[in-house]
Amino acid sequence: MASSDAGAAPQLGSTVEVPGAAGPVRVVAAAGLPEADFRKALESALFRRWLESLQAERGLLARGKLSLRQILIQGVDMFGQRVGFLKFKADIVDEETKAKDRTGEELG
């Protein structure tokens, strides 16, 4: 009997630099997200501003207690040629306890 994921397309992925992060952060696309939408999400001003806000004075990563490990892009709504809304989940880990907090975000 064949495996249910046999022949499945590989998951789309990339890495992004996050200011102040220990290294590049992996960004992956949810199953079924078109590659064009994934690429537009990565290049969008919304996504870039969110990444920058993580290291802002009051950002989640500003104090060094939390670490961003991975981002899952779940959905992209386009307004004409520009990204209007992004839906994603961010895997954030408390560096002290190693507890994982999966935070969902919607930007738009």
Whether residue 10 lies inside any domain: the answer is no
What the block records as the tokens of 58 is 């009051």
15-54: pLDDT as tens digits: 888 766 677 889 999 999 999 999 999 999 999 998 888 8
Q: What number is the average pLDDT over the span 96-107? A: 66
**DSSP 3-state assignment of 93?**
strand
Q: What is the pLDDT of residue 3?
A: 43
Q: Tell me whether residue 28 is in a domain.
A: yes
* β-pair partners for 100: 93
Q: How many angstroms separate the CA atoms of 41 and 64, rounded?
A: 26
Q: What is the model's pLDDT at position 74?
A: 95
> Rounded to two decimals, what is the model's pTM?
0.77
Asked if residue 55 belongs to a domain, the reply is yes
Average pLDDT, the chain: 81
Pairing assessment for the beta strands 66-79 and 82-94 based on DSSP bridges: antiparallel
Domain that residue 72 falls in: 20-32+40-100
Residue 15 maps to a domain? no
Query: Is residue 94 included in any domain, yes or no?
Result: yes
- The continuous run of DSSP H or E covering 24 comes out as none
- Please report whether residue 90 resides in a domain: yes
pLDDT at 4 over 70: no
Q: Is residue 8 part of a domain?
A: no
The arithmetic mean of pLDDT across residues 60-77, rounded, is 87
Provide the number of structural domains found in the chain: 1
Higher pLDDT, 31 or 56: 31
SS3 95: coil
Classify residue 74: in a domain, yes or no: yes
C-alpha angle 46-29-108 in degrees, rounded to nearest 5: 25
